[in-house]
Structure 1
């Protein structure tokens, strides 16, 4: 569990920047996967975790299909080649047809579990490699499953719950766990390439830019900067509070919310705090990961509001009030933003104004986030009688 921590001397001369690390940024060194209109390969659709879809959705999306999940779905799906891959809390990794919801195959963690014990469940976002789907379970094992057949390729035990997604960087999978480490494993064999201590359990999905990844452990308010090639810690960014979600990166700036209820923008190369946005009189922690566009940073909060913030200035643009905490992460689709709330509604708002344009009452809350591909949105509900829902 993450423990609460406060420190108000944020970035007052202590932030380590590119000059301190001796980093260089050669042209053409970026390894980030671009957002795609035909696949959603990771938690926030790319290594920079921006949460932007490169497709469109109908003005009034309709429920196309649903698949029951007895213990609920908090995992964020991934989509490619007309197939949806989603993990459930009951320990099923499902491969479904995107058009129909028909099951293609099912991989189960509980095959060798005694009848009186619970199978390890999938709470974390999934990650896609070209031929493999990667899924971390709540008992700390990373599973690599063949995308075509559903057969197990390999597994790797971390000895700590996995709640964040992974990042595919070249020939390796990078992810963290509650074992207080960040791991790099061979995609082919699952053998460890390197691991590094994170000084606390890892909740988020690594953000990757150039050959650096950014991650925090939730026992100390420090964002580690790690070389993805060597696993070497090359710097650290002190934070004012714990980071429970994932950071997004755009144009050299990291954007993230903290458990103190603030959203920060940091120029990670120039050791500068660009801005800080706080919610007046409603200091509630942020467990939602931001969506970042050219103009806006959009993020949910436990204060029951979705917040849109000017990306350049940090000024609030608009807020949208719901009836419960928002832990699901928003996704930008064209001129709208879609997100699920703890109030059991799936919303679409105008990106420009925050006006509500559409909502669907699922009768169950949302913790996982949407994946959007090919004119369809797929998301799971968090309930004892949860479902995987597809809209289009």
Structure 2
């Protein structure tokens, strides 16, 4: 999927604050149900990705493409900026810098000063996965599976490694390791300091979900709905659970429970230690929106037009809200708020008064 190049002038409103992008598999400091609708905002296009949080701002990108900046407390529109270029994926913030992969005759990874929009450097290649930041290093993987670590200051190449296949997931960092899944079915761990391959485990089919961390294990899911956990240090598969349907690109992990949304209209809660299915919750539509979780509650949305809050431990329904249309974009969890945008171009923000 192609994404719009962000309008950097809007990001200057954030000052020195960094957008909350979250970490895969980690719970956020979120709000517990029952929730109240705080506000809605009509947009000019369907959402591209989930809402991002920056202090008192909520940022939401649309298909037009337009980036909205809204007051998180009352929904007042503080800015609205359109774009005239296309990028492969949403960008990544690293302090005052902003990195993103740009398409065109000469595709490249570009790093800009987000306060002035001045381009600091670029690195040639087609980068359609969101890069990750580790200290003063930007680690990115191109569409051919080349992983490259670049110095943030000037783009100097520090190391280069090969995944051995096209990437299908974003990179996940854990300590000195970087994990990725490929279209050819490999789950790969690289040394994040040198690029040296630590291990490679064949899952025998395309990896679908970004790896998440579960203590000493790394968990992902394949395109057919096989959820697998492997030891972080060795790649040895610890457990496997077949759900039998296309999983969401993002998984949620909190309180020892892994939450997976599937195209069979269900959310599943798996024991993160064993893979056993603790619960299943049926919606009335295909689930493509990635769930999120607090320490007590899993939040997920479906193409049936509902936002659901489920008990994390047993999956029973705690609360639900009827939206104006189907949801495909991820649910976003911020400090004491939940945000979700529908394909009918309406952004909803929920919280507790």
Give the structure-2-normalised TM-score.
0.82
Aligned to 2:131: 166
Shift of 1:205: 1.9
Q: Distance in 2 between matches of 1:355 and 1:57?
A: 14
2:41 paired with 1:75: no
Q: Distance in 1 between matches of 2:125 and 2:44?
A: 26
1:97 and 1:104 in contact (8 A); partners too: yes
Aligned to 1:20: none
Aligned runs of 1:20-169 on 2, under 5 Å? 41-42=20-21, 45-46=22-23, 49-70=24-45, 72-106=46-80, 108-110=82-84, 119-120=85-86, 124-136=89-101, 142=109, 144=111, 146=113, 149=115, 151-154=117-120, 156=122, 159-160=125-126, 162=128, 164-169=129-134
SS in structure 2 of the partner of residue 69 of structure 1: coil
Aligned to 2:247: 286
Number of aligned residues: 334
Shift of 1:99: 2.3
1:329 to 279, 290, 300: 290
1:205 to 158, 163, 170: 170
Q: Distance in 2 between matches of 1:361 and 1:150?
A: 41
Q: Distance in 1 between matches of 2:165 and 2:124?
A: 14
Shift of 1:289: 2.2
Aligned to 2:218: 254
Task: Decide which moves more: 136-145 or 299-308.
Answer: 136-145
Structure 1, gaps ≥5 residues long: 2-37, 111-118
SS in structure 2 of the partner of residue 50 of structure 1: coil
Aligned to 2:260: 299
Aligned to 2:348: 389
SS in structure 1 of the partner of residue 36 of structure 2: coil
Shift of 1:192: 4.6
Cα deviations across residues 256-292 of structure 1 (Å, max 9, x unaligned)? 111121111111324432211113xxx2222332212
2:223 and 2:247 in contact (8 A); partners too: yes
2:225 and 2:245 in contact (8 A); partners too: yes
2:149 and 2:158 in contact (8 A); partners too: yes
Once superposed, what is the RMSD of the aligned Cα atoms?
2.9
Q: Distance in 2 between matches of 1:145 and 1:84?
A: 21
Residues 1:194 and 1:77: Cα distance change in structure 2 (over 3 Å): farther
2:263 and 2:288 in contact (8 A); partners too: yes
Q: Distance in 2 between matches of 1:66 and 1:370?
A: 16
Shift of 1:246: 0.1
Aligned to 2:276: 315
Q: Distance in 2 between matches of 1:375 and 1:40?
A: 16
Give the structure-1-normalised TM-score.
0.75
1:75 and 1:368 in contact (8 A); partners too: yes
Shift of 1:339: 1.3
Q: Distance in 1 between matches of 2:121 and 2:327?
A: 28
2:305 paired with 1:344: yes
Q: Distance in 2 between matches of 1:158 and 1:65?
A: 40
Residues 1:363 and 1:160: Cα distance change in structure 2 (over 3 Å): farther
2:40 and 2:346 in contact (8 A); partners too: no
Task: Decide which moves more: 176-185 or 299-308.
Answer: 176-185
Shift of 1:248: 0.3
SS in structure 1 of the partner of residue 204 of structure 2: coil
Shift of 1:255: 1.0
